[in-house]
Amino acid sequence: MEATTLIGWLRRICSCPEHAEPIEHQTHYSFELEGKDYQQVEIQFATPEQEANTPVNVRIALLVIAKDGYYEVFNNTKYFSYVDDYAAGEIPSKKHLALLVQVPLDAADDVKAAAQKRGDVKAKAMQEYYQHYSKFEWDVEVRAYAYPSDTDPKPNMFGAPTSGNFMKTITDFDPNYRMIWGGSNSGWCGHAQVNGPYSVTYANCGLSTMLHEWGHSLGLHHAATIDELGNYKEYGDKTSVMGGEETGLNSHNLIKLGLEGNREIKIISASEQVLIAPIELHEHALFDNEYQTVVVKRLNFNDLYISIRKDKGTIYPIRHTPQRVYIHENDEYGRSVQHLPNLEPTKTKTVNGVTFNYVSYDDVQESAIIDIIIDGVKPVNKVSHPKVMFPELLPNMDAKQEYTGVWYNRLHQKQGYDIQVKNGRLLFFWYTFSENNDALRYYFGTADTIEQARLGFDLYTTKNGTFKAPESGIVEKIGTARLSFFDETRGVFNYSTIETGRGSVEIFPLANSSEFTKTGCYANPAKKASGFVGHIFHEGETCVLFWYTYGADKMQKWYLCSGPRSKDNPDKYELEIFESKGGARLHVRDAFDTMVGTATVEFNGDNLIEVDYSFDGANGTGKETAQRLF
């Protein structure tokens, strides 16, 4: 492999000019892992004219890991490979971490088993965290291993632990990151090198430290703050896990990790009035002139990132004050620095010569309008808060009867969307969990025309009923929703509710109904605010019945009942009743189903069903007769 060929390839990765040459390189450290030699090197490029003018040197830091003539390069956590003079291209997705839970060398089997169990819990939480933020664009996998060792993990001069503590051979997994959980350090909770493969979380610290240290490995620096007096706090930013608390990732983190696309980001270099929305929103919830992060770029100044956050309807962030505007600076080392105090409505703040004037905040749309004034020039454009609830979206196909079935998004475990389309009308159920725990919740709505479904319809919920006496329950409006489709394989559900604020979810068919004479919504008119929605799949051989009801605490509950057609009666199905647990609304958290009983459902003609049930717990046994409503 010729060095000039490799250098040319590195130029392309960095978007360096063709005549840029490496001006400096530094070997950070060498190490051996599982019999292979590794070396981590930083290379900096500059053109001759830039090199002559030191203050404006192009300093492109590339960390190169060389393995027997094979190179992997990452620039801001985006990975590239080079083999035999060929750049295989960007491969950013693999994020596999081995969490090594340290135990004594002579640990008994029960001690090892307990360590393995603790590690499994932490590994699962770490995996879910970064799956959530990467929206499954990354291949994230974390596995825990009980690791007998009497050697305390210690950091070396570069902030990464010494490699000798990471020599455990793993045969069933190929991690590109390793973290030890063990040892002790009176002054720190953990250590890691930015863009390095190794990290340590000391035994007295837990999940937030693990997320933080792996964030370093993925390319993130500490999230700092600086106030108007110049007081700098390295761990001050409470909007990011890199500031030391489990509060999610801020706008700077998301962009640095490549998790925000062009649709979510607006880059400006001249004065402009901008409309921004919370960084937690999906792009399908954004209006045409609305963005999640505005990046201010100016020659010879660090970039500034302008954003707001949600205070409800999202999982990881703490309860941020929703109207608060955050200003983060990307400093010369690539660190996130939050400028304090944060910008509040009607206030003005100047950062690095840029003035931010907070014009207004809309509580319903959760959007903010900001004047960004550069070089003292006031913006000439004007923007306004959206006057309608949902944006004009690319998917504008109406729902069709063949879309009837169960839809889902793989990010959100054991929850989904129960869709019925019949005679030009829509019945819609969103079955899910509470926001922060696994209490079961559901929402529903109808549209008298398919066009209404695409333009918007009311969304309802129920409360105060019981399983034995659902007639005591009440129905109340909780928001509005919109349902549209790209085609039969992909749709978009937009919503705005009291509990969640606004949001958007891409949905995909899990299974489409195949027998519409039985598929439908059924209820006992005397037992309002509860009922059944049935689907027939596999050419009539399988029934899935959603049972929307209440628990003993007068809170909502839904059960999923499924099973095959009876061998003795083609209109009867033998079902198992499942209750979903462990999830959270719109969360990747790994929920699970628990079987809580059995039932049979018999379809008597087109308009009547009989459900015989037997629960393992307090619901007991009984029979429900329900008429078709839809």
pLDDT value at 630 more than 70:
yes
Tell me the pLDDT tens digit for each residue of 13-24. 555 566 666 665
Please tell me the distance from the alpha carbon of residue 106 to that of residue 87, in angstroms, as a whole number.
47
- State whether 234 and 351 are in the same domain: yes
Report pLDDT for 167: 59
User: Hey, what amino acid is at 582?
Assistant: G
Boundaries of domain holding 271: 223-374
Mean pLDDT of 523-540: 88
* Domain's final residue, options 217, 240, 268: 217
- Residue pair 18/11 in contact (Cβ under 8 Å)? The answer is yes
- State whether 293 and 331 are in the same domain: yes
Residue 280 forms part of a structural domain: yes
Number of domains comprising the chain: 4
Residue 276 forms part of a structural domain: yes
* Domain's final residue, options 191, 217, 243: 217
Share of the chain above pLDDT 90, in %: 48
Share of the chain above pLDDT 70, in %: 81
Tell me the pLDDT tens digit for each residue of 567-607. 999 999 999 999 998 888 887 777 888 999 999 999 998 78
The CATH number assigned to the domain holding 181 equals 3.40.390.10
Name every residue whose Cβ is closer than 8 Å to that of residue 506 and which is 6 or more positions away in sequence. Answer: 282, 284, 409, 490, 491, 492
- State whether 546 and 618 are in the same domain: yes
- State whether 546 and 617 are in the same domain: yes
Please tell me the distance from the alpha carbon of residue 211 to that of residue 262, in angstroms, as a whole number.
26
Length of the chain: 630
Residue 395 forms part of a structural domain: no
- Sign for the pseudo-dihedral over CA of 569, 571, 577, 583: positive
Report pLDDT for 411: 80
Report pLDDT for 250: 93
Q: Which residue, among 504, 297, 272, has the nearest Cα to 391 in the 3D structure?
A: 504
Report DSSP state, residue 254. H
- State whether 212 and 243 are in the same domain: no
- Residue pair 447/457 in contact (Cβ under 8 Å)? The answer is yes
Mean pLDDT of 101-120: 93
* Domain's final residue, options 355, 374, 393: 374
Report pLDDT for 396: 66
pLDDT value at 362 more than 90:
yes
The helix or strand, by DSSP H or E, that contains position 130, with its residue range, turns out to be helix 109-134
- Residue pair 510/413 in contact (Cβ under 8 Å)? The answer is no
- State whether 242 and 354 are in the same domain: yes
Sort residue 438 into left (φ over 0), alpha (ψ -120 to 50) or beta.
alpha
Residue 525 forms part of a structural domain: yes
Report pLDDT for 463: 87
User: Hey, what amino acid is at 45?
Assistant: F
Residue 576 forms part of a structural domain: yes
The helix or strand, by DSSP H or E, that contains position 453, with its residue range, turns out to be helix 450-455
- State whether 189 and 69 are in the same domain: no
Sort residue 76 into left (φ over 0), alpha (ψ -120 to 50) or beta.
left
The more confidently predicted of residues 255 and 196 is: 255
Residue carrying structure tokens 């004065």: 271
pLDDT value at 314 more than 50:
yes
Report pLDDT for 63: 46
User: Hey, what amino acid is at 492?
Assistant: V
pLDDT value at 110 more than 80:
yes
pLDDT value at 527 more than 60:
yes
Mean pLDDT of 28-42: 51
pLDDT value at 162 more than 80:
no
pLDDT value at 339 more than 50:
yes
Please tell me the distance from the alpha carbon of residue 172 to that of residue 170, in angstroms, as a whole number.
6
Tell me the pLDDT tens digit for each residue of 268-305. 999 999 999 999 898 889 998 999 999 999 988 999 99
- Residue pair 534/544 in contact (Cβ under 8 Å)? The answer is yes
Report pLDDT for 373: 98
pLDDT value at 504 more than 60:
yes
Residue 139 forms part of a structural domain: yes
Please tell me the distance from the alpha carbon of residue 28 to that of residue 39, in angstroms, as a whole number.
8
Report pLDDT for 156: 53
Report pLDDT for 8: 60
Q: What is the mean pLDDT of the chain?
A: 83
Residue 84 forms part of a structural domain: yes
Report pLDDT for 350: 97
Tell me the pLDDT tens digit for each residue of 54-96. 433 444 444 444 444 444 444 443 333 333 322 333 334 789 9
Q: Which residue, among 120, 127, 122, has the nearest Cα to 141 in the 3D structure?
A: 127
Name every residue whose Cβ is closer than 8 Å to that of residue 342 and which is 6 or more positions away in sequence. Answer: 324, 325, 326, 327
List strands edge to edge, sheet with 336-339: 232-233, 223-226, 336-339, 326-330, 304-307, 293-296, 265-268
Report pLDDT for 79: 36
Strand 501-512 to 490-497 pairing: antiparallel
Collapsing DSSP to helix, strand or coil, 185 comes out as: coil
Tell me the pLDDT tens digit for each residue of 433-445. 987 677 889 999 9
Residue 369 forms part of a structural domain: yes
Identify the weakest region by mean pLDDT among 78-87, 116-125, 465-474.
Answer: 78-87
- State whether 232 and 357 are in the same domain: yes
- Per-residue burial over 286-325, b if 16 or more Cβ lie within 10 Å, else e, is bbeebbbbbbbebeeebbbbbbbbbbebbbbbeebebbbb
Identify the weakest region by mean pLDDT among 168-172, 280-284, 413-417.
Answer: 168-172
- Listed in order, strand segments (DSSP E) in 34-115 are 36-46, 62-67, 70-75, 78-83, 86-90, 94-103
Residue carrying structure tokens 């932490």: 122
Tell me the pLDDT tens digit for each residue of 556-574. 999 999 999 999 999 999 9
Which two tokens mark 228? 């108007």
Report pLDDT for 159: 44
- State whether 364 and 412 are in the same domain: no
- State whether 205 and 227 are in the same domain: no
- State whether 67 and 193 are in the same domain: no
Using a CB cutoff of 8 Å and minimum separation of 24, what contacts does 347-353 make? 351/304, 351/327, 352/301, 352/302, 352/304, 353/301
Say if residue 509 is preceded by a cis peptide, omega within 30 of 0.
no
- Per-residue burial over 26-51, b if 16 or more Cβ lie within 10 Å, else e, is eebbebeeeeeebebbbbbbbbeebb
- State whether 184 and 46 are in the same domain: no
The more confidently predicted of residues 161 and 508 is: 508
Tell me the pLDDT tens digit for each residue of 200-247. 999 989 999 999 999 999 989 999 999 999 999 999 998 999 997 767
596 exposed, middle or buried (CB, 10 Å; 0-12, 13-18, 19+)?
Answer: middle
